[in-house]
Amino acid sequence: MSVSQPARALAPAPATSAGPRRRPSRLMVGAVFAALLAVGPYLLPPFYVSLLDYIGIASLVALGLTLLTGTAGMTSFGQAAFVGLGAYTTGVLSSGALGADTLGWLQGSPWLGLAAGLLVTFVAALAIGSLTLRLSGHYLPLGTIAWGISLYYLFGSSTLLGGQSGLGNIPAIALFGLDLDSPARMYWLIWAFVLAGAVTSQNLLDSREGRAIRALKGGVTMAEAMGVNSSRARMVVFILAALQASAAGWLYAHLQRFINPSPFGLHYGIDYLFMSVVGGASSVWGALLGAGVITVLKQWLQDLLPALLGRSGNFEVIVFGVLMIVILQSSSAGLWSLVARLLPVAARAPRIDRASRLSRRALPERGSVVLEARKVTRRFGGLVANNEMDLQLRAGEILGLIGPNGAGKSTMFNQLSGVDTPTSGQVLLCGADMRGKGSRAFASRGLSRTFQHVRLLPQMSVLENVAIGAHLRGHAGVLPAAWRLDRKDEGALLAEAARQLERVGLGDCMHLPAGSLALGQQRILEIARALAADPCVLLLDEPAAGLRLQEKQALGDLLRKLRAEGLAVLLVEHDMDFVMGLVDRLVVMEFGTRIAAGLPEEVQNDPAVLEAYLGGV
């Protein structure tokens, strides 16, 4: 890899096929799958059609978990409760449970029941999400268990909802004059919902909003630094998963025509999580596979074990548990990863709209102060990590921030980038006082950064990782993304990401997974990601660490080029050879305090600096 090598034309996605034989596209494989599903009811006995109905309903819930747990990294045991919300809302409204006089105009229509169920679920998910999504680590799954149990008991203790004995008289759904009053007739509707859910989920994941959701797995600090509103992204994905579960509940209620609380309890919430994880938690098609495998497995165990053992008991639960452990141990990425390897599907390169260009920010006048620290102090208990630090960074210069280990450079970096708030003092970005504002606000005012410990999404392509950096330059929201109405916006974002990759010399790697690059290349990738935001201030945390000599020279050339374009660059670095030959000015820290500042040659001979680095030699 060389930064200075001429930019190459965007290479097509690397072919994964072993030979010249053409592989069918994903669309073609999807069409075959849909065709097989379509003929299912004509070929299969009624029992299996019915089983496929239940697999479809479970798939819809597992799809939501693919977004929530597999993609955004939030584990939920409570999805069955949202299934219950959808089922009970339509059950109450369509079964006449409210009585003829109350809301009589609403009753009898399952379609109104669907709309009402989605609305009720939306409001409930918003309320529950506001309370629980702030939790992190193991508190969040525990929170989902808590509200899952609460809703379950609510269903069982309300007389309006029929208590433990449940609600009957739920009518069949009527579609174009046809009553869907049998499992075979419901089959089409259920699988239409599943396919629509799978396709829209996949579309969403391949979009700006989807990347924002996926960025959550890289940690909130990284996502916010890219301008992603992490609280909103968490809420969006939580509500989407809840709505998919609610739609599944609506289908379930009108398939069964009777509901009681038991299928909406914690036990089922755990099953849905198993389906998602066993199938492959981060794969949309894995959700369908997981739902199929677990539903069929449970059915077989229930039928076969009593016959094999000659007596009944809860043996199927024990065998099921053991099988789950075996499957999870032998395929931690889920069963879909095994199937995907066997499927002869061609890799798809994302469409990059080379002709389109994103609008650019006007850079501040060269020489003007763009980032300033005024008497910044940061205390951690009794320890003063930054002590009344002053620092000015100007447009069109490279400023180095150096100091021995523990001097307080990273802490200063955090104050300057909004990751942390000074105990006292001010940070000004382009003249605006940024005190108390988070890193997202810094990003939207034109500050981009890299991380001391590389923070990338290793499974995602290099191109998509860089596109996360351009998040604030795109506009398409969740719904346009789900229905692929965002292609212009998306093509332009990817083109910008491709341009930045070529600019830093990683053009040839853009379709590879980011995790497959060497550490030095990953650091350069982070710089491309920061540049994709079109910044006026670039903060680099030890960018030369792990780079070979040639790579360092190439990085130096790139930074000089950025300086010539008028960017303000601040770098924290330990590599003195790299720093001295590159920066315009230096600020030296020791024990949290600024001990010297000036031109590199002045600082090099400063007695305080020699004392700090060499113990006064």
Encoded tokens for 233: 């992204």
In the bound complex, what is the minimum distance in angstroms from residue 615's beta carbon to ligand ATP? 17
Nearer to ligand ATP, 70 or 403 (CB): 403
Q: Give me the helix-helix angle, 266-280 and 335-342, nearest 10°.
A: 30
In the bound complex, what is the minimum distance in angstroms from residue 542's beta carbon to ligand ATP? 8
SS3 448: strand
Residue 569: name the closest of 453, 437, 396 by CA: 396
Chosen residue from 95, 121, 201, 411 binding ligand ATP by CB under 6 A: 411
Chosen residue from 141, 148, 408, 422 binding ligand ATP by CB under 6 A: 408
Yes or no: say if 249 and 86 are a contact pair by the CB < 8 Å rule: yes
Which among 155-163, 353-361, 408-416, 505-513 is the span making contact with ligand ATP, rule CB under 6 A? 408-416
- Total residues contacting ligand ATP (rule CB under 6 A)? 11
Q: Can you give the three-state secondary structure of 369-406, one letter per residue?
A: EEEEEEEEEEEECCEEEEEEEEEEEECCCEEEEECCCC
Q: Which of residues 365-384 bind ligand ATP (CB under 6 A)?
A: 380, 383
Binding flag, residue 483, ligand ATP (CB under 6 A): no
Q: Which residue type does 513 have?
A: P
By DSSP bridging, strand 568-572 and strand 432-433 are unpaired
Q: Which of residues 72-111 bind ligand ATP (CB under 6 A)?
A: none
How many other C-beta atoms are found inside a 10 Å radius of the C-beta of residue 357?
A: 11
Which among 45-53, 159-167, 300-308, 409-417 is the span making contact with ligand ATP, rule CB under 6 A? 409-417
Binding flag, residue 543, ligand ATP (CB under 6 A): no
Q: Which of residues 260-299 bind ligand ATP (CB under 6 A)?
A: none
Chosen residue from 236, 293, 407, 494 binding ligand ATP by CB under 6 A: 407
Binding flag, residue 576, ligand ATP (CB under 6 A): no
Binding flag, residue 409, ligand ATP (CB under 6 A): yes
In the bound complex, what is the minimum distance in angstroms from residue 162's beta carbon to ligand ATP? 54
In the bound complex, what is the minimum distance in angstroms from residue 576's beta carbon to ligand ATP? 13
Chosen residue from 228, 385, 430, 558 binding ligand ATP by CB under 6 A: 385
Length of the chain: 617
Distance CA 413, CA 473 (A): 24
Q: Any residues with CB less than 8 A from the CB of 411 and at least 6 apart, and which?
A: 378, 385, 386, 420, 592
Residue 188: name the closest of 118, 242, 259, 251 by CA: 251
Nearer to ligand ATP, 331 or 593 (CB): 593
Alpha helices in 257-314, H assignment, sequence order: 266-280, 284-309
Chosen residue from 16, 136, 359, 405 binding ligand ATP by CB under 6 A: 405
Chosen residue from 403, 446, 469, 520 binding ligand ATP by CB under 6 A: 403
The footprint of ligand ATP (CB under 6 A) covers 380, 383, 385, 403, 405-411
